[in-house]
Amino acid sequence: MSTEVATVPTGHDPEAMRKVMNRLKRAEGQLHALTESMGADSNCKDVVTQLAAVSKALDRAGYMIIANALQSCATDDVDGSGSHDGMSADDIEKLFLTLA
């Protein structure tokens, strides 16, 4: 009797998702450090700089996710009628525009 577990393809590029997770963890660390350093004597410029870094890291993670979805749609379905995570190419475009 085999105890092998079948894996279901998710359509996500594992390397791309690893990069997204690394970026999100970096943003999480930056945000944690920022919240820990907040206080009455916090330097406004430093706080805003750190907020901008966290925001940019989150935006880049979102763009990477959308780029992966677009690549998957393009390679999985050349005529553009397929979907990625239940989204059409138009849905993915709308998702991209929410970050822009």
Residues 77, 37: Cα–Cα separation, whole Å? 48
Where do the structural domains in the chain lie, given as residue ranges? 14-99
Residue 7: the pLDDT is 41
- Burial class of residue 88 in the structure, from the number of CB atoms within 10 Å of its CB (0-12 exposed, 13-18 middle, 19+ buried): middle
- Which overall architecture, per CATH, does domain 14-99 show? Up-down Bundle (1.20)
The values of phi and psi at residue 22, to 5°, are: -60, -40
The residues facing 84 across adjacent strands are 87
Model pTM?
0.64
- pLDDT tens track for 35-60: 888 887 888 888 888 899 999 899 88
